Amino acid sequence: MTAIQVDGLRKSYGDFEAVREISFSVARGEIFALLGRNGAGKTTTVEILAGFQRPDGGTVRVLGLDPVKDRAKVRKSTGIMLQEAGFFPDLTVARTVDSWRELVPAARPRAEALELVGLTGKAGTKVRQLSGGEKRRLDLALATLGRPDLLFLDEPTTGMDPEARRATWDVVTDLAAHGTTVLLTTHYLEEAQRLASRMAIMDKGTIVASGGMAETLAAETGRVAFELPAGVEVGDLPVEVTAVEGATVICRVADPDVAAQTLLGWAGERGLRLRGLEVRTATLEDLFLDLASREKA
């Protein structure tokens, strides 16, 4: 069953085309990451899916419904954490949750909502006195108040410390495990890699790469890096070198483990040490940097 279906979606602001015919779908219960640089069109896409903006072209279905025409119905089954949260700064955290609870049918109890995001101790604090990361957590509590079938998270962990970010990942993973579909945007590629099973990378309004996270990364090349031992020329090395940055030699290879073994065997025979040896399979960051350099070339 499809939770989100986007076909040929277009959106312009005046003459500027922010989203140019993108298509993707998200299955029910899936965590899907929408990635891309600043201005790529992620928030525009999320806002259209949530029914905050009208598309200029293409079709969009959310839980089988049109988010513009069936806005009220879509709203009931979705939760949304916008990139810019709008709170009343003088309300306490508890009052903020209470006032939202009045708008949400079958809302979680306040204590449960605050517990979920680790804000129990801040119930009496005014929203203006919360730290940036705490505000993001309050926003997550509000977005999940109605136990939505579908959750839109636009940069949910921006400004969070590493511990709060991990706690948020646990909350999102747990919601998805209980059947919530999640569409996430993030600039933290580790976050996308940990949470999402599928992703699309947007650039200048189009999708430039998409697919299953594991499959897409497996098709990318890994990386082996080390310091060039004294007295060795790059041309002497038994592997193909992609780049040399200062004293560091970088090899982008399909199978980094095999390349590392070759290098270690070669170094061992010559009594050389490979200082700073790093071996890793492809990450989303590699894919990102590759896409960026392909564009420049």
Ligand X SMILES: Nc1ncnc2c1ncn2[C@@H]1O[C@H](COP(=O)(O)OP(=O)(O)OP(=O)(O)O)[C@@H](O)[C@H]1O
40 is in the binding site of which of Mg ion, ligand X, none (Cβ under 5 to 8 A by kind)? ligand X
Nearer to ligand X, 44 or 181 (CB): 44
Asked if 44 is part of the footprint of Mg ion (rule: CB under 5 A), the reply reads no
Question: Which string of x and - marks every residue 184-213 that binds ligand X (by CB under 6 A)?
Answer: ------------------------------
Between CA 86 and CA 88 the distance in angstroms is: 7
Binding map of ligand X across residues 222-241, x = CB under 6 A, - = no contact: --------------------
Q: Which of residues 95-154 bind Mg ion (CB under 5 A)?
A: none
Residues 74-103 that bind ligand X (CB under 6 A): 83
Asked if 13 interacts with ligand X (CB under 6 A), we say yes
In this complex, which beta carbon is closest to ligand X, that of residue 43 or of residue 181? 43
Tokens 């525009």, residue?
Answer: 44
Binding partner of residue 293 among ligand X, Mg ion, none, CB under 5 to 8 Å per kind? none
Interface with ligand X, residue 50, by CB under 6 A: no
Q: Is 248 helix (H, G, I), strand (E, B) or coil?
A: strand
Residue 105 token pair: 């049918």
CA distance 132 to 178: 28
Return the one option of Mg ion, ligand X, none that residue 18 interacts with (CB less than 5 to 8 A, by type).
Answer: ligand X
- Among 44, 41, 50, which Cα is nearest to 76's? 50
| Residue 110: its H or E element | helix 110-116
Q: Is 244 exposed, middle or buried (0-12, 13-18, 19+ CB in 10 A)?
A: exposed
SS3 assignment, position 107: coil
Q: Which of 4, 24, 32, 43 binds ligand X (CB under 6 A)?
A: 43
- Specify the DSSP class assigned to residue 197: S
Report the interface residues with ligand X, using CB under 6 A: 13, 16, 18, 36, 38-44, 83
